[in-house]
């Protein structure tokens, strides 16, 4: 039985973005081991037939001594498991895992580039960024390394910086995919209050500041007509995480509500009329937006990496400039004032999801990559 080791930063990300791949791999006869930090949800991975190993490390830490310890931890893990394929998810496992996989001559490597994240935003491109690129170049420079991108911008960035080598096979997926049966089309609620959903981890780069400014702009006119629902974790483990205190202070009752993490996202989407994500984070393709499309929700998002793939301006929503709260407020008001517009955009979102975001297509691509790396 061929052994696949999947390495990610936290268990909940594996569950939200890769559980379908794990289920199919187990069903196809692979032995699957998942290594990530256990935040209390590891049992959901084990229930799919995979083995889980707790692998805690700081997602955004840069202390050289601590990062060296993480490398040693990866080395011990790979030496113990001896996988045929190692599948790295999120940027730190991609970088460190590729180095260790090369050192230990692991047969096949899959590097999933689901957005380049905090250290690849323009304002952070300093010495640490250059150091990361050197590490990536070393780890990627070998045969049997398959790299999966979710947008062409990330591919171009890694190609232009010399990270990709001739031994790398490059693939594209439209995000992590969405289960079209779980996230079914539903009619907009169209109740007395219009509900605007902001479904994301609470990071500044996800557009928290811009959304708050937009709510302030619109408050006088819409305070008693609209509710903004903030559904996501206060991510204290991230350098750009928004604190729970800030979110609680912003929540003011019916107009703005922070409801934290929600396990039943289809239900949350079903209760919403509009979904917005004014992000300028280095996204792959935000899963929350493709889920919103599948549920038939009109979308307002930015013309930035990853987000732009989910919104066709004037077809299923509005595409606005990043970091522009005035543009966001204008787009929201347009949707507030037209129920027919919301309905049309929502219907078109579902069509887009069926054409572009089916999770079964994403899973098929991954299974093909595994077989190719194993020469099956």
DSSP 280: -
Q: Give the per-residue pLDDT at 59.
A: 77
Instruction: Report the share of the chain in percent with pLDDT over 90.
Output: 85
216 three-class SS: helix
The answer, yes or no, to whether residue 121 has pLDDT greater than 70, is no
Averaged pLDDT score across all residues of the chain: 94
Q: Alpha-carbon distance 161 to 201, whole Å?
A: 29
**111 within 8 A of 376, measured Cβ to Cβ:** no
The answer, yes or no, to whether residue 130 has pLDDT greater than 90, is no
Identify the CATH number of the domain defined by range 3-175+358-373. 3.40.50.2000
Instruction: Report the share of the chain in percent with pLDDT over 70.
Output: 97
Q: Alpha-carbon distance 76 to 94, whole Å?
A: 16
pLDDT tens by residue, 45-73: 999 999 999 999 987 777 889 999 999 99
Over range 155-179, report the average pLDDT.
93
Q: Give the per-residue pLDDT at 350.
A: 99
Strands of the 317-320 sheet, one edge to the other = 256-258, 226-231, 194-199, 274-277, 299-302, 317-320
Instruction: Specify the range with the lowest mean pLDDT, choosing from 113-127, 192-206, 272-286.
Output: 113-127
Question: Tokens 């935003």 identify what position?
Answer: 121
Q: How far apart, in Å, do the first and last CA atoms of the chain sit?
A: 13
The answer, yes or no, to whether residue 159 has pLDDT greater than 60, is yes
Q: Which residue would you say has higher pLDDT here, 118 or 9?
A: 9
Locate CATH 3.40.50.2000 in the chain: 3-175+358-373, 194-356
In this prediction, residue 114 has a pLDDT band, given cuts at 50, 70 and 90, of: confident
In this prediction, residue 340 has a pLDDT band, given cuts at 50, 70 and 90, of: very high
Q: Alpha-carbon distance 13 to 234, whole Å?
A: 15
Helix axes 359-373, 11-27, angle to 10 degrees: 70
pTM for this model (two decimals) = 0.88
The answer, yes or no, to whether residue 118 has pLDDT greater than 60, is no
Over range 320-349, report the average pLDDT.
98
The answer, yes or no, to whether residue 122 has pLDDT greater than 60, is no
Q: Alpha-carbon distance 250 to 369, whole Å?
A: 45
Q: Which residue would you say has higher pLDDT here, 70 or 119?
A: 70
Homologous superfamily of 194-356 in CATH?
Answer: Glycogen Phosphorylase B; (3.40.50.2000)
């Amino acid at each position: 039985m061929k052994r696949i080791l999947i390495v990610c930063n936290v268990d909940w990300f594996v569950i939200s973005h890769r559980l379908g791949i794990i289920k199919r791999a187990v069903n196809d006869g692979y032995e699957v081991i998942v290594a990530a930090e256990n935040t209390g949800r590891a049992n959901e991975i084990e229930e799919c037939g995979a083995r889980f190993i707790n692998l805690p490390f700081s997602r955004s830490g840069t202390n050289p001594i601590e990062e060296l310890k993480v490398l040693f931890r990866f080395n011990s893990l790979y030496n113990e498991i001896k996988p045929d394929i190692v599948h790295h998810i999120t940027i730190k496992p991609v970088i460190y895992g590729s180095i260790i996989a090369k050192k230990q001559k692991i047969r096949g490597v899959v590097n999933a580039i689901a957005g380049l994240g905090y250290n690849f935003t323009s304002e952070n491109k300093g010495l640490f960024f250059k150091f990361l690129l050197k590490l990536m170049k070393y780890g990627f420079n070998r045969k049997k390394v398959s790299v999966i991108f979710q947008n062409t911008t990330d591919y171009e960035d890694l190609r232009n910086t010399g990270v990709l080598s001739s031994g790398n096979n490059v693939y594209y997926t439209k995000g992590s995919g969405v289960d079209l049966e779980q996230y079914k089309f539903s009619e907009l609620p169209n109740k007395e209050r219009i509900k605007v959903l902001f479904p994301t981890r609470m990071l500044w780069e996800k557009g928290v500041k811009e959304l708050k400014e937009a709510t302030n702009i619109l408050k006088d006119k819409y305070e008693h007509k609209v509710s903004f629902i903030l559904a996501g974790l206060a991510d204290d483990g991230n350098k750009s995480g928004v604190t729970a205190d800030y979110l609680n202070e912003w929540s003011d009752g019916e107009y703005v509500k922070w409801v934290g993490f929600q396990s039943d996202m289809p239900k949350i989407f079903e209760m919403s009329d509009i979904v917005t994500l004014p992000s300028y984070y280095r996204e792959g393709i935000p899963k929350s937006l493709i889920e919103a499309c599948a549920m038939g929700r009109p979308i307002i998002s930015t013309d930035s990496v990853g987000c732009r793939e989910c919104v066709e301006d004037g077809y299923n929503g509005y595409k606005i400039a990043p970091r522009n709260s005035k543009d966001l407020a204008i787009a929201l008001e347009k949707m507030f004032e037209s129920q027919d517009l919301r309905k049309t955009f929502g219907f078109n979102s579902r069509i887009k999801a069926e054409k572009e975001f089916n999770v079964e297509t994403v899973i098929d691509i991954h299974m093909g990559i595994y077989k190719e790396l194993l020469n099956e």
